[in-house]
Chains A and B, each alone.
Chain A
Amino acid sequence: MSDEPETPPMDRRRFLTVLGASTATAAAVSGCSTSRVEKLIPYLVQSEDQVPGIPTWYASTCTECDAGCGLHVKTREGRAIKLEGNPDHPVNRGKLCVQGQSALQGLYNPDRIKAPMVRNGSAWQEIKWDDAIARLAAKLGPAQGKVAVISGAGRGSFDDFLGEWTAASGGKMVRHAPHDLEAVRAANKQVFGVDALAAHDFGKARYIVSFGADFLESWGPSVENQRGFADAHGFHDGTMAKFVYVAPRASLTGLNADEFVAVKPGSETAFALALANAAGAAGLSQYTPEMAAQETGVPAETIRRIAKEFAAAKPSLAVAGGIGAQSAGAAELCAAVNLLNQAAGNIGQTVLFGADLQSGDGQAALDALAAGMDQGQFQVVLVHEANPVYTQPRSTGFAARFRKVPFKVSTAMVLDETAALCDLLLPTHHALERWDDARPRAGITGLMQPVMEPVFTTMATGDVLLKASQKAAGPLARFNAPSWEAYLKARWADIARARGSADADGFWRESLARGGVYDEPAAPAAVKVASAAVTYTKPAFEGDGEYTFLPHVTTFGDGRFTNRPWVLELSDPVTKITWTSWVEVSPAAAKRIDVREGEILRLTSPHGSIEVPAYIYAGLRDDVVSVPLGYGHTEYGRFAANRGANALDLLGPPKAGGFLPFVATRVRVERAGNAYSKVPKTEGVPRQLGRHIAEAMPLAAAAKGLSLEEWYKGIGEPLGEEHPPVEVEAIKGWRQMQVGRTEGHGRRLGNYAGDHPMWGMAIDLSRCTGCSACVTACYAENNIPWVGEDDVRKGREMTWMRIERYWEGGEADKPLEARFVPMLCQHCDNAPCEPVCPVYAAYHTVDGLNGQVYNRCVGTRYCGNNCPYKVRYFNWYKYNERAFPAPLNLQLNPDVTVRARGVMEKCTFCIQRIRGAQHTARLEDRELKDGEIVTACAQACPSDAIVFGNMKDGDSRVAKIKRDPRGYHVLEDVNTRPAVTYLAKVLHAGSGQRAEG
C-alpha cells in the first residue's frame, strides 16, 4: 500500500466526473441558457375546463375495432395525450388494448390528409371545403339511384344516418368489416335461427375449448374476453379453469392454453362434433373419437379425455371461428360448436344470446356491390372508414371493379390504397375530434365528443354529407340538420324521451360525462335448436403445394394499425418480431426446406407469390406455414407503405355468397436464392437455461399452498444458486449501510432520514397473457421513442416495459409451453447499476425507487452493462427528434422529460404519477391512499395482473399479494433484492415442463 500515492492525481471516477461536468456545460448552451427566447402565448378566453398543468379528462368511446370499449381521454393544455379505459364501461372496465391506446398515433399521424383534395391527373390538389362539398353535391344530384357506399363505421347514429342517406339517394350501402366473424353468425343462424353474434362469459367457465378462435387477440371484444379469461384461468382460491386450444397453429391465445392440440387444418369440425357427440348431442353418433382422430391426426385417447373433461366441468365454454379457423368449412365448425355448447348446457350460462354484438354485412354483400360497379350500376361511390382495395385479396379483382366507378370519394384520414384510387378526398375527423356515438351491442351506447380542436383542416363526414345534401337538393334535401352535432343531439333527445327523461339536455350532459348509456345486461335470450343437421365436409385446398397456407392476425388487425409506430415497434407477442412480416415454419419443415431464421422464403399459391424471411416456430404443424396479416401496404403513409409482404396475395376469391376463406390454399415453399434479411426481433435467448426467470408450478402444489421454494425442495432441485454464509452476512447489512435504517426508528442518514413509503409491484404470471397492452401504455405515458427496424436489429429498442417470452419443451415428446414475463426495472434495493455510475445518475431514492437522473447521466452505459435484467436502455441517436415527427410530438406527456441522445433511460415506476399523487395529497392535507397511484402498465393491463403500491403499508394490495406463497424474485440468487415480486404461473397436470411433481 505504501507505494501508492496518497492522492491519486486523477482516477477514473474523478476523470469521468470532470468529463461529465464539461459535457453538462456544453449541453447548457441548448438546455439552460438564458439567451434562448421563448414566447408565452395566453388564451384569448380561458376555457373553464382547462387549468394549465392539470389534465382534463373526457369520456369517449374507442372506434378502433367493433368492441366499442369506453375511453377516458387525458388532455393537457388542449391536446389528447393518453387514452385509458373507462372504468364504468361494461365492456372493458377501465382497461384498453394495444390498438385502442395507439388511437393517439392515428390522431396525430403525420401522414393524415391535411385538407380536402381533388385528383388532378396523377397528382392531388388541395381545395377548400366549400369547393369540395360543391363538387360532391354536383355529382350526387344526377347520380340519384346510382350511389354506392362502403362503410367501415360501426353501428351507431352515424351508421343509421348513412343508411337513411344512402336509401334517400336510391343507392346501396355495404358495411364492410374485413375480419368479421361471419362464419359464427352463419352458424348461429343455421343452428339457432338467430342471425347475430352472442356474448361470451369467459370468467364463469371452468373449462374452455377454443377451435382456432383467438379470443385474446382478434376474436370478439378482446379486452372483455381477456378479463374473463384471467378471472377463470388465473390461479385463485386453490383452483383455475383449464383451457384447450385446437388449431393447426398456436397463436397468442393458443400459447395461453394448458393444452395445444395441433389438428390438421380444416379438421377442427370433426373434433368439435366428437366432443358434441360425447356431450350428448343427438344425431352425431357417427362422430366417434376414432373418426375424429383419423381426420384430425390427434390420438383418439386425447379426444376422449378432453371430451370427458369438458363434460365434467360446469359451466364450460367452447368457441370457434376467426381468421385462423376460417377455412371453407368454418360455418360447419361453428355450427358444431353451437351444438356442443347446447349439449353441455352452456347456452344462457357462458354463451349469452341477445347481446347482438355488432358485425358487418358480410363478404357476399360486398361482392354484390363490386359486381354492380363492374356492370356500371354506380355513378358515385363513397368509401368511409374502410379500405377494401387492401383488405380484399388481389384475386377478387376488387380494385379493377372499383376503378370503373366514374366518381370515387373517400373520407380516409390517411391516403390508403382505396383513397389512392379515388377522385375526391374528404378527410374526416378522428374519433377524438368529433361528435358521434357507437352501439357495439344491445344495451350499450357509447358517446364520443371532441376532446380537442382538430389537428388538421378536416371535417366530420356527417357534416360533409349534410352540407352536400342541402346543395344537391332533390330527395336528399330532407337531411336539413344545421350540423352533425345538432343531428346527433336531436337523436339523443329522442333517446332521452324514449327512456322517460324529461330533461333532454340534462340527459345528454349526464351521458356525455359517463361516456354513454349502459343498461344493466338483460337476461340472455333463450334460443332453441332450429336445425341440428351439422355435417363435416373433408377440407379441400386449392393448389398443389406441400404446405397449407394459414394467414394469422397479429397486432395489426386487418392492416389498419400498420401505420402506427407504437404497434410496429411492439414486438409480436408470439415471435417477438417487430417492423416486418415473416413466415412461420415448424422446425421439421425448416429442416426439410433447409432454411434458417432470416433466410428468405418464396411462397407460391395458385393466386400469387410472396417473399418473406423465415422464422422457425415450434407451435405450428409441420404441414402448415403461417404469415401475419396487415403488412404489405402499397400506400397508407410512411410507416406502412412497402413494409413486409401482403399475405392476402396468396388467397383466392370467395365462393359466391360465401365468406372469404382465409385457410384455403396450399403453397409451394422454396428458398429465394441465398437471400437473407436479419429478422428484427427483440429477443435474446428464447430459453431460460436454468436462470429461474419465468417460474411455474403445478396446480396440485399451488393448491396445497406450497411456496415455490418448498416445491423446488420437494422435487430435489435448488431454487437458484446457493450462497456461502459470508455472502449472506454481507448482503444482510447492505440495506442498513445504504439507508441507515435502524429497526423501529425510521431512517437516519441525511436525505434518507424520516419515514418514507417503499414502492413495489407484484405481477401475477398466472393472469398475464402476454398481450402487451402494458408495453404500449408505457410508450404513451413515458414519451418513449421508437427506434426503427435497423436499430431493433442492433438490439437498441427502448421498451422500458417489455414482455419476455420463454419457450419450454417443444421438442419431440414434450409439449410446447410459452411463459410470458413482463420485464421492467426491478427497482432493486441492492441495485447493481447504482454503485457503478461514476456521476451518481443512477441512485436509490428515499422511497425505494431506483432513480435515474437524466441530467446527471453522461452515458457511460456502465449501469446497463451491470444490470442483470437488461432493463436499462441507451438513447443512441436523437430518437427524440426523429421519433416524433409533427404532429406526433403533440402526444408527448409534458410531465415526463423527453430524453435526448446519450443518456440511459429506464422504467421509473411512473414517478411522475407518484409525485403527482403526492403533491395532490399534500395540497389536500391528507395521506396517500392505497390504489391512488396506478402505474401506466397496471392501469392498462386487461388481466389485472400488475399491482403497484406501498410495500411498507402491510394492508396495501401489493403487500398482500407479495405474501402469496407463489411469489418469487427474478434472478433472486444475484442478491439484487428487487421491488418487483412475480407470482409463479400455475400449470394443469400434463400441460408443461413443470406440470407434474
Chain B
Amino acid sequence: MRKLFVSVARAATVAIVAAFVAGTPARAQQAPARTADSIAAPVIAKGDSAKLKGPRQPVFFRHDLHAGAYKIQCQYCHYSVAVSNEPGIPSMQTCMGCHLVIGGSDSANKAEIKKVRQAWADKKPIEWTRVHYLARHVHFPHSQHIKAMGPVACATCHGDIARMPQVYKVNNVNNMGWCINCHLERKVTRDCSACHY
C-alpha cells in the first residue's frame, strides 16, 4: 500500500526564520577537537583553491574538513542515498543547522561561511556545480549499492572524498566498462536492462 501524504499550508515551507541569522556575529571558534583517526585537513590560504582539482564551486565547501577532519557521516548530508536512487544533496537548512552557530575559525573559512549565511538570509539556494553525473539513459540506484556494499561504499566510485578539499572526478562514472568490471568481479547482473531503460 502506497503511503499517502497530505498537503500542508504551502506558506509554511517557506516561512523560515531568517532574520536573526543574518545578524548573528560570527563568533571565533576554537579549533575543533580531532579524534585519533580523523584526517588532518590542510590549511588552504585564500586564493589557493584555484589550483585544486575539480570544478570551482560557488562556496569553497571542504569535504576534507567536514567528512575528513570532523568525520561527519556522508549520509548526514546525502540523506537519501540508502533509500533512494538519488543520494540527495543537503538543503540549506542542513548547512545552517551547524553554521547558525559555527562561523569559521579563520578569515578564509569565515568568508565562505558568510556566503552560506547570506544565501540563507536571501532565500537563494547555492547553485553547486555538479561533479558526477550519469548520461540520462542510465539508471543508477544508489540505495542498491549501499545495501550491497555498506555505507562506506561511496569511495568505490567517488574516490576518497574525505581527503578532497574540492571534489573532483576520480572515476569516469560514464564509462560503462568501469561499471561492468565491478559487476564482473562481484558476479552480479550484467543485464543491459538492469540500468538501461
A residues bordering B, Cβ < 8 Å?
31-32, 34, 37-47, 49, 51-54, 56-59, 72, 449-451, 453, 485, 509, 512-515, 751, 843, 845-846, 849, 851, 853-856, 895-898, 908, 911-912, 915, 919, 922-923
Contact = CB atoms under 8 A, between A and B. Distances in A.
B10 interface: yes
A911 B125 contact: no
A41 B10 contact: no
A923 B136 contact: no
A853 B130 contact: no
B7 A42 contact: no
Interface string B82-94: 0111111111111
Contact of A51 (B14, B80, B141): B80
Among all A-B residue pairs, the 3 with the closest Cβ atoms: A53-B86, A53-B84, A52-B86
A43 B147 contact: no
A895 B133 CA distance: 15
A890 B9 CA distance: 23
Interface stretch (B20-28, B100-108, B150-158, B184-192): B184-192
B169 interface: yes
B126 interface: yes
A922 B148 CA distance: 10
Contacts of A843: 192
Contact of B88 (A52, A450, A512): A52
Contacts, number: 156
Given A449-B6, A485-B9, A53 B85 contact: yes
Contacts of A51: 80, 83-84, 88
A923 B83 contact: yes
Interface in B169-197: 169, 172, 174, 189-194, 196-197
B197 A915 contact: yes
A304 B83 CA distance: 66
B192 A856 contact: yes
A59 B4 CA distance: 7
Given A42-B89, A51-B83, A897-B137, 4 more contacts: A41-B128, A52-B87, A53-B80, A855-B138
B51 interface: no
A278 to B, nearest CB: 50
Given A41-B125, A851-B192, A512 B7 contact: yes
Contacts of B86: 52-54
Contacts of A46: 79, 91, 93-94
B46 interface: no
B127 interface: yes
Contacts of B79: 46
Nearest to B176: A855
A38 B130 contact: yes
B135 A855 contact: yes
A194 to B, nearest CB: 37
B14 A44 contact: yes
Nearest to B169: A34
A90 B119 CA distance: 48
B72 interface: no
A845 B87 CA distance: 28
B13 A47 contact: yes
Contact of B193 (A42, A56, A911): A911
A44 B169 contact: no
A968 to B, nearest CB: 28
B127 A44 contact: no
B2 to A, nearest CB: 5
Given A51-B88, A449-B6, A450-B10, A751 B139 contact: no
A57 B3 contact: yes
B187 to A, nearest CB: 9
B90 A853 contact: no
A56 B3 CA distance: 8
A40 B5 contact: no
Contacts of A896: 197
Nearest to B92: A44
A328 to B, nearest CB: 48
A512 B8 CA distance: 10
B144 interface: yes
A45 B93 contact: yes
Given A38-B133, A42-B91, A46-B91, A451 B143 contact: no
B6 A509 contact: yes
Contact of A851 (B133, B135, B193): B193
Contact of B5 (A58, A846, A849): A58
Contacts of A849: 193
A453 B189 CA distance: 40
A515 B91 CA distance: 30
Given A751-B189, A896-B197, A54 B135 contact: no
B30 interface: no
B191 A846 contact: yes
Nearest to B78: A52
A613 B35 CA distance: 82
14 contacts: A31-B137, A37-B130, A38-B129, A42-B89, A42-B91, A43-B92, A49-B5, A52-B88, A57-B2, A58-B5, A853-B193, A855-B138, A897-B136, A911-B193
B115 interface: no
B92 A912 contact: no
B129 A39 contact: yes
Given A51-B83, A846-B191, A919 B197 contact: no
B16 interface: yes
B135 A513 contact: no
B180 to A, nearest CB: 11
Contacts of B10: 450, 453
Nearest to A753: B187
Contacts of A38: 129-130, 133
Interface in B42-59: 55
Nearest to A489: B9
B123 interface: yes
Contacts of A54: 80, 83-84, 86
A496 to B, nearest CB: 15
A1 to B, nearest CB: 35
A919 B130 contact: no
Nearest to A509: B6
A876 to B, nearest CB: 19
Nearest to B127: A39
Given A451-B7, A919-B144, A32 B174 contact: yes
A853 B139 contact: no
A897 B197 contact: yes
B83 to A, nearest CB: 7
Contacts of B7: 58, 449-451, 512
Given A42-B89, A46-B91, A853-B192, A911 B129 contact: no
A843 B197 CA distance: 13
Contacts of A922: 144, 147
Given A39-B129, A40-B128, A450-B10, A751 B190 contact: yes
A845 B191 contact: yes
A44 B197 contact: no
B190 A43 contact: no
A913 to B, nearest CB: 10
Nearest to B141: A919
A52 B93 contact: no
A854 B91 contact: no
Contacts of B192: 843, 845, 851, 853, 856
A919 B90 CA distance: 24
A856 B195 CA distance: 13
Contacts of A31: 135-137
A727 B84 CA distance: 48
Given A37-B129, A911-B193, A42 B90 contact: yes
A751 B183 CA distance: 11
A53 B85 CA distance: 6
B125 A44 contact: yes
Contacts of A515: 4
A54 B79 CA distance: 13
Contacts of A509: 6
Contacts of B147: 922-923
A42 B125 contact: yes
